[in-house]
Structure 1
């Protein structure tokens, strides 16, 4: 997954050796249909289930999702390596484990878990539910709400999730070979997989897998221990007032979450500091000042979750910062894309005329060997569009066929822009395009005609197409650097996407059956659900629905987000000695705790401290094992969610209550 908002954060490694393919000159490269093996798909399915639980839990808690490519590559390597070692011992090994098969597994898993993000089960889709609508007050009428059910969620995902794979597949040679776009996450993944399959890399990978499973075991057991002491609401380790009762009341406390300690280890330091800064600015200063105006700025009789009260300031100011950040990056990415094209046009194709090195010649040969016909790409996209035009309005009655047609006509253009930008910067802005779609289509349809649902559903269309398109192109880059056939990459993406379309609704159903999702005070607040619905309400109602002075404050923070990003980019361009831009917080990251509080930001800062300590002790070991330890912490704690959900569904309560 390459997406970095709503917030998914990539871990980028530098690709290294100048003659990588020389190390693999004696390795057998199987044909494309033998790269997609039954054992690879079985391993991919198991890991897809695991990663869907992880991404679903992260989505439903804070929405901060780190790159899980390292864990997917490592666990895929460990699974098949163990299988081949066992079958070889009994003389039953028919096909050796290659880096191409490893790439196929990683692609399948990331494509599947990517659906857990782009499906919107914790954002635009959950925002349709009556419970979230009740918190928003306005628009809480039957035509603007929809009960979540697998019976429509699964077919909706099956209809909209595949279009992105066909939208720009015809441009793969231009993006990968002609323009030589970097796709940093795709390059980093290829670098790791290439390393795994060298003797030295395989030995390191075994140690990394060992570290991952050790931290996994600790995290899983610690999750079980926490459950034992959480008999009722307000019980458990998270209820401890770690920084005092006043800080706890302002949602500033250590949550004892292994998941977010691990996420903090994977995220850049400035991301975690930005989150903590946003929590302190909002909960320690802004919200107490606004709450002092209760009875003047807003009615004192309103519930704590009403968007016409204090919750409205929290949600809409956060939305303003996100929209400001998204608008800036949209404009910036457009400028980068235009500038890049202009430079390429004026360079007289120097890159293409230069003598390719040996690695490039080999990679070009394999990348061009198995073609995906352009007619198949165009026909596939057109076919999916026709099916969507028929099916989507049957699911969402407020979306008409011509709305869906317009979305499918503009999506390939947006998909190209997004994928090109992601290739240059590793930023996928699919969620930002989705927010623009919400505003556009909700305004077009109107409140009385179900504009809220229409806007949220259109977000799903646009976001799914753009997210899968940029993900596919990044995976093509991984395949290019590992000599994996484009055809096997495309089909593994199709299989992984199909898995995700089935697994994601089922995983969401488990969480939705066991917990009240979207409760601001609960275990799974799903912050983006109310925010996305808030954007739709802005589209259909305008700014008149906001509490007193909320519009002025929102405009200030919208402008501030743009200015912060502008200053950051200017410093990056012109200031090189001290690199001050590294210490400027991210507006997108600052906005998230405006609604949630700072408890998860503190957890993530603890993760940063752990990683910093590892780096101080041994920088190389921290680089080698930090991501594996972090991935284990995330996997263990997230997977404890499976038995915890089963216990909750069965009505089993913990034996003790730890309470301050």
Structure 2
């Protein structure tokens, strides 16, 4: 999740001030040149952690699509691995280069870039939305020209062609955003604060404790997932199908599925995100869907299957899309307004803004010196963008024949503007709206191409083109901010981002292919339903068919939900601006988060709310310990449970089934089973 409370921004600004004071502690520490910041051990560590994080992100994407920020885990695990290695080598007397905060920053940048590709690659959204499995659920638009089966070859080729362009689109503006406008980039600032604290004597001691806590959490989570596997011999078996609140609630998808991953995710995500998910689940599965299902035979045919978009599934998908589009469009417009307003204010400001006293002046001067030391020429950035864009214009239409070269040309003509808006807005608020720009691209290009000419595939592929540019641009600027605060070279940041992008382009399809071959990916009742795949295809169908494809009264509800999402966001922003005493805006749910359970149900929201409850109780008992060790515990829960997915997938590919099926039946069903087993 990329959205954060406004309260966090203030805390992160304080952290930046603390980090500035820390620079005195590094005064006698030599800053290595940019080539020595890119070490072989950093590359190996980055690759190993990228593999772990790609598995985590792929599993989260395919199950619910809720992805927490993994920056802290990347920085902590990178520190733990390299520090352990250097301590061991130092004891042997073979250490040639000490482990520095710059090298730690390179590792974190590379890993986050790789896991960012795992998200923006669309293997669980727009690319999977092209598949026959998702097309069959969507009913309409599943003719051959609008369907493309996933294959590891063309997916890797597509990602390599489109993922690097965004890196060059924003490089010329790095000095303006970091030095002139001094944008905060809260996640980048927080990561820099974390890495700086690791490499001070006090921070190193705390980091060791955090690593130990993470290790224990990781091991416990891994073996708990292993234990659960033994009871999962068939569909509907195991702890994941435990009817926690009764069988009636279970049928409405209200249950706790004992997932350590989503308990950990809940500990990382803000409280209101988790509560919004639960509110959305209660409203949809507890109130709205039962009302619509009572209209069966009137609003939609009683003969339709449960997965048909012309039946109840259509209401679930398109009402969720309405909330997402309303929320997304509001934030795009709002971010453009905020960006233009901030840009105008920055123009009027006096250029000399450094009034923080001696420490502030000292650190600003030192950081600016190293930030400007290793420049990336603007001519290289512009030439790189034009060359890579030309390559993409030539190759993407070969992979997707539904898209023509002029479609890609138009996308790349507007992409730098959108990349700037996203990167600038991200610097102000920490919101990345890459997926929203991708959804708009789907609507525009799918309607441009048309249904008969493959508009569904064209819209989904154009989403990948646009989303890759906009997402990588904001990620790179976050990394530049982290590098600025840790005295890491812009060149080492750029090259580590390039390396991470390349690793992500390779690992993301491979990891997805592993899951795709081992499990029933994309099926609504399977272990990995990939909810966003059907939603993204639904948006493409809206683009090519208009609203004629919606079931009865669905259009009216879509309009209501779309404007409801806009009104809720307007109310939130108004309260943030004018209401300060009670801060009621903190208790207004997020429409985007509420939309996710419309399709999936409440089970993962219950897991995440349990994670929030654990953290809340921990904070009440010991706020300092919860702040220091909470992220480590959560990261261990996520990593351990997700990593079990690899041996589980290997067992599934080898057709090795669990030995036990633990299943729960009603009294009546149990009597029938007993009668059948006992015979006449």
TM-score with structure 1 setting the length? 0.98
Aligned partners of 2:270 and 2:111: how far apart in 1? Answer: 24
Cα distance between partner residues in 2 of 1:392 and 1:405: 11
- CA displacement at 1:353 relative to structure 2: 9.2
Give the Cα separation in 2 of the matches to 1:164 and 1:543. Answer: 33
Match of 1:307 in 2: 309
Q: Which of 47, 51, 54 in structure 1 is aligned with 2:53?
A: 51
Where does 1:72-151 land on structure 2 (aligned, <5 Å)?
72-151=74-153
Contact in 2 for aligned 1:62/1:526 (Cα 8 Å): yes
| Equivalence for 2:178 | 176
Within-5 A mapping of 1:340-489: 340-351=342-353, 357-489=361-493
Using the alignment, how far apart are the partners of 2:149 and 2:108 within structure 1?
A: 34
1:29 aligns with 2:31: yes
Deviation at 1:11, TM superposition (A): 13
Specify the alignment match of 1:219 in structure 2.
221
**Which whole-Å CA distance do the structure 2 matches of 1:313 and 1:4 have between them?**
27
CA contact (8 A) 2:354 2:361 kept: no
Contact 2:318-2:558 within 8 A present in 1 as well: yes
- Unaligned regions of 5+ residues in structure 1, if any? none
How big is the shift at 1:335?
A: 1.0
Match of 2:623 in 1: 619
Deviations 1:525-553 (A, max 9, x none): 10000000000000000000000000100
Partner of 2:161: 159
Q: Does 1:500 align with 2:501?
A: no
Separation of aligned partners in 1, 2:505 and 2:3:
21
Preserved CA contact (<8 Å) 1:229 1:658: yes
Alignment of 1:584-595 (within 5 A): 584-595=588-599
1 CA distance for matches of 2:26 and 2:352? 29
Residue number in structure 2 paired with 1:563: 567
In the alignment, which residue of structure 1 is the partner of 2:536?
A: 532
Deviations 1:76-129 (A, max 9, x none): 001110111111111110000000000000000000111000000000000000
The whole-number CA distance in structure 2 between the counterparts of 1:345 and 1:16 is 24
How many angstroms does 1:350 deviate by?
Answer: 4.7
Corresponding residue pairs, total: 656
1:544 corresponds to:
548
1:596 counterpart (590, 600, 603)? 600
| TM-score, normalisation: structure 2 | 0.95
| Residue of structure 2 in register with 1:192 after alignment | 194
Deviation at 1:16, TM superposition (A): 4.1
Contact 2:355 2:361 in 1 (8 A): no
1:293 paired residue number: 295
The alignment partner of 1:47 has SS state of helix
2-side partners of 1:360 and 1:551: how far apart? 55
Structure 1 residues 148 and 11, CA gap change in structure 2 (3 angstroms) = farther
The DSSP-based 3-state class of the residue aligned with 2:55 is helix
Are the structure 2 counterparts of residues 427 and 540 from structure 1 closer, same or farther at C-alpha, using a change threshold of 3 Å?
same
Post-superposition shift, 1:343?
A: 1.1
SS of match in other structure, 1:524? coil
The answer for the alignment partner of 2:16 in structure 1 is: 15
Q: Shift of residue 352 of structure 1?
A: 6.9
3-state DSSP of counterpart to 2:596? helix
Query: Counterpart of 2:650?
Result: 646
Task: Tell me the distance in 1 between the aligned counterparts of 2:28 and 2:654.
Answer: 56
The corresponding residue for 1:631 is 635
1:55/1:12 CA distance change after superposition, 3 Å: farther
Number of the residue aligned with 2:677: none
Mean alpha-carbon deviation: is it higher for 319-328 or for 13-22? Answer: 13-22
Q: Give yes or no for contact 1:276–1:601 (8 Å, CA) kept in 2.
A: yes
**CA contact 1:178–1:352 (8 Å) conserved in 2:** no
**How many angstroms does 1:245 deviate by?**
1.2
Distance in 2, Cα, partners of 1:620 & 1:637: 26
Equivalent pair of 2:9/2:429 in contact (CA under 8 Å): no
Shift of 1:590: 0.3
Is 1:330 aligned to 2:329, yes or no? no
- Alpha-carbon distance, 1:4 to partner: 4.8
